[in-house]
Amino acid sequence: MGHKRLGRSAIVVSDICMGTMTFGGQADEAMAHRILDKSFEAGINFYDTAENYPVPPSPEWAGRTEEIFGRWLKTKNRDAVIIATKVCGPSHGWIKGSMRAGMTALDRHNITRAIEGSLTRMDVDYVDLYQTHWPDHGTGYEETLRTLDDLVQAGKVRIIGCSNETSWGLTKSVAVAEREGTVRYETIQNNFSLNNRRFEDELAQACRQEGVSLIPYSPLAGGVLSGKYKDGARPEGARFSNYLNLGGRQAAMAKRFVNDKSLEATDRFAAIAAEAGISLVTLATAWSKQHDFVASTIVGATHEDQLPDILAAMDLTLSDEVMKAIDKVSKEILYPMG
């Protein structure tokens, strides 16, 4: 298992991070704890959650994942676990609607309420990495960063990061932090996978220049890179199967991940994996963490049986030949996720 620093901070994490967004939803508490135990035993020390998990969100479920994680944490040495969680804005108490549709609010009031809620649900004194879940370009970075700086000074947070941020937003926030003398985002958590390499267009260089680490989520492209949607399959209980059945906004998002181009690319990546003698899941996970701007790749599971292929990527470095074969597919099938 490799280890890297988060940005320019002193925090060193395993290069695979265990995501928890299905815990309390698709995975019940007993299964979640088995997944957490097995990942920890394998050497993973980095865990990512959020105040609004599990996903898909539900008003009565909000915060359940942090509670489940907190109960598991009681069985471990707190200093051996690096905790990352996120503030969404007014998700505490929940308001019906989409958090992406103008609900993110990163002002002092909402951030302060959010961290107190997360600390209470996990029953901890501090979190190691506190992230803004979605950007709020309506609230000035000055207010957001000053508030987060206060949390660091109070010992409730060690470092801060952002998620789903734009190239403009990341560089703007770094400039504001330098001007105001506050803490800065040490990490950015964005979507990055074999089927979605848009991060490399601009954000990767911004990370290199500013010393910010990417913590990529969805390295399996929402499960597409497991091969389970091959030949038009709609596996029962799978997230995008459910979204496609719902129609509307959810179906539109699912079709961004599950479409002719993404399925063709997935088939070709599967052939590369087979030639290398590994599973497609292992290939996709290993490829994600094999970038200089990546600190730790977030993986997820709904069942412990999914872990072996993920964990097989821990000590794996893909050969130059495999990386070149992957790049060839990416150049021939541009932007599979649209």
Q: Angle at the Cα of 194 (from 190 to 195), degrees rounded to 5?
A: 80
Number of H helices, E strands in the chain: 12, 10
Quote the pLDDT of residue 245: 74
Percentage of the chain exceeding pLDDT 90: 80
CA distance 223 to 69: 23
Question: Which CATH superfamily is 3-189 part of?
Answer: NADP-dependent oxidoreductase domain (3.20.20.100)
Spell out the domain ranges in the chain: 3-189
Quote the pLDDT of residue 173: 98
Annotated active-site residue 217? The verdict is: no
Residues 140, 108 contacting (CB under 8 angstroms):
no
CA distance 136 to 271: 41
Confidence of residue 98 (pLDDT cuts 50, 70, 90): very low
Q: What is the pLDDT of residues 167-189, one digit of tens each?
A: 999 999 999 999 999 999 999 99
Residue whose structure tokens are 């998700």:
91
Helix (H) or strand (E) holding 19: strand 16-19
- What average pLDDT does the structure give for the chain? 92
Q: What is the pLDDT of residues 287-296, one digit of tens each?
A: 999 999 999 9
State yes or no: pLDDT of 254 exceeds 90: no
CA distance 16 to 18: 7
State yes or no: pLDDT of 95 exceeds 70: no
Quote the pLDDT of residue 251: 78
Residue whose structure tokens are 């010393």:
211
Say which of 53, 130, 217, 243 is annotated catalytic: 53
Structure token digits, residue 222: 């929402």
Q: What is the mean pLDDT of residues 43-64?
A: 87
State yes or no: pLDDT of 92 exceeds 70: no
Q: What is the mean pLDDT of residues 204-228?
A: 96
DSSP states along 270-286: HHHHHHHTS-HHHHHHH
DSSP state of 231: G
17-26, 233-242, 246-255, 257-266: segment of lowest average pLDDT? 233-242
